[in-house]
Copies of this chain bind each other. A is one copy, B any other.
Amino acid sequence: MGVTIRDVARIAKVSISTVSRVLNDKCNVSEDKRVRVERAARDLGYIPNPAAQSLHSSRTGSLGVLLPFVSGEFYAEFLNGVDKTAQNGDWLLMISTSHNSEDELRAALKGMYRRVDGLLIMAPNITAESVLMQPHDDIPVVFVNTRCEDEAISLITFDNHGGMREMTRHLIATGHTRIGFIRGPVLAFDAAERERGYRDAHREAGLTVNEELIVPGKYSQQSGHDGAVRLLGMDPRPTAIMASNDDSAIGALSAIREAGLDVPSDVALTGFDDVPSARFTVPPLSTVHVPVRELGARSIEVLMECIKTGQISRLPHQTMDVELRIRKST
């Protein structure tokens, strides 16, 4: 079917060993044959068969990326960083989603067996430890934003707890005491951390958390909308609403406006993540900036580094800083 190394050898009138040498080592081959081989390869449009290369070298040239979802600005930005960095390093990306299901994660993992040289896994509602056994015992794995206590596992996170605590402090400092909180998914590690930040800031300020003000959410715009509707229906209603991420803040914003209220004069509103849209809401959203793209880039850098040095993930856990972006919604 395709053109193989034999074809090149035949046209160049040399052995396939020589062709391979020219195309790889570039040493110990006469000038004469080198040009013949290079010319034949170019004329035929020869590209080595990656399956054969991989079979021999057990390298694939691909990285596996496993995310909970692929839609939404957060993941899109993350992928942006991942993609750019991988492309620079000349790696191909194999991408799959788990929908936060451990079974799907395992299935994807199995599907990528021997198809990738390293794995990047984001699984906020599964522990890294529970996933890591399984077939991939001999390639580096880097976890991102995942619950993980084992220091021997490579992990990169950002400060979910600290970011939300800071933001809560900011609201308390500007006089709010009745602050609604729209949670993230029940099982998500990062959602729990964010809620913990909300609680800790209250405690530090000597305020007790009114459990009624914490309503469920799913990080989606729709769930943020619904959560805000619920909070606004309370009497007295909260003077501020903290959404667990920007998407739900955007949903909450539309609910607040539908109720005929103004942000921030009637209700202050905050998000988390600082997705690109957060700058362009009306009013611009005060939120916790997470370096999402850099997070993706860094994760791939670490993974590439592990592969290069042959390490099966023994890097210290890294936590990326977040910072408040106070705009006009508070």
Contacts and interface: CB of A to CB of B under 8 A. Distances in A.
Interface of A: 1-2, 45, 47, 49-52, 54-55, 58, 60-62, 69-73, 75-77, 79-80, 83, 87, 90, 92-97, 110-115, 135, 138, 221, 225, 250-251, 253-254, 257, 276-277, 279-284
Nearest to A1: B138
A254 B276 contact: no
- Closest CB pairs A-B (n = 3): A51-B54, A71-B80, A76-B76
Contacts of A93: 94-96
B71 A77 contact: yes
A55 B52 contact: yes
A23 B293 CA distance: 43
A92 B221 CA distance: 29
Contact of A221 (B90, B221, B277): B277
Contact of A138 (B2, B58, B79): B2
A2 B97 CA distance: 25
A2 B114 contact: yes
Contact of A87 (B49, B96, B277): B96
A50 B92 contact: no
A210 B323 CA distance: 45
Given A76-B76, A96-B92, A49 B45 contact: no
B280 A254 contact: yes
Contacts of A71: 73, 76-77, 79-80, 276
Contacts of A75: 76
A97 B114 contact: no
A51 to B, nearest CB: 4
Contacts of A110: 47
Contacts of A283: 257
Contact of A47 (B61, B76, B135): B135
A114 B221 contact: no
Nearest to A45: B135
A279 B83 CA distance: 29
A196 B68 CA distance: 39
A138 to B, nearest CB: 6
B83 A97 contact: yes
Given A2-B138, A277-B221, A94 B62 contact: yes
